[in-house]
Amino acid sequence: MADFIQYIECTHGEWKKAVHREIEAADCILLYIAPKADKFPVIKRPEAALPYFEQYYDAPFKNLSTGVGLLHEIAYIDRLGKIENTVAICREHESKYIWELIGKNSWQGISVFTRTVDGIRATSSRLLAPDRQLARLQGAAGIVAFTDADLTISRSRFARLLRRAVKAALGRHHTQPRALRQGWQSMVGVSPTPRPLPPDYQLKIISHTDVENLLHIPNGNITEMAAEQATSRLNRRAARKGCPTCGAGLSNLFFYINGLGNDEPDQTIWAKCQNCMAYLMVENWRLLEV
> Are the C-beta atoms of residues 62 and 84 closer than 8 Å to each other?
no
For 258, the 3-state DSSP assignment is strand
Nearer to Zn ion, 29 or 276 (CB): 276
The distance of closest approach from Cβ of residue 192 to Zn ion in the complex, given in angstroms and rounded to an integer, is 28
Give the whole-angstrom CA distance, residue 139 versus residue 136.
7
Nearest distance, CB of residue 76 and Zn ion, angstroms:
22
Q: Which is nearer to Zn ion, 188 or 250 (CB)?
A: 250
Q: Which is nearer to Zn ion, 225 or 278 (CB)?
A: 278
Least Å distance, CB 59 to Zn ion, is 14
Residues that bind Zn ion (CB under 5 A): 243, 245-246, 248, 273, 275-276, 278
Q: How far is CA 11 from the centre of its chain?
A: 23
Residue 246 CB, nearest approach to Zn ion (Å): 3
The CA distance from 42 to 28, in Å, is: 30
Sign of CA pseudo-dihedral 272, 277, 282, 283: positive
- Least separation in angstroms between residue 75's CB and Zn ion is 17
Contact 223, 197 (CB under 8 A): no
Distance CA 211, CA 146 (A): 35
108 strand-pairing partners = none
Residue 77 or residue 278: which is nearer to Zn ion going by CB? 278
Taking the least distance from each CB to Zn ion, the nearer of 82 and 132 is 132
By beta-carbon proximity to Zn ion, the closer residue of 278 and 282 is 278
> Considering the complex, what minimum distance in angstroms separates the CB of residue 248 from Zn ion?
5
119, β-bridge pairs: 116
Query: Coil, strand or helix: which one is 33?
Result: coil
DSSP code for 235: -
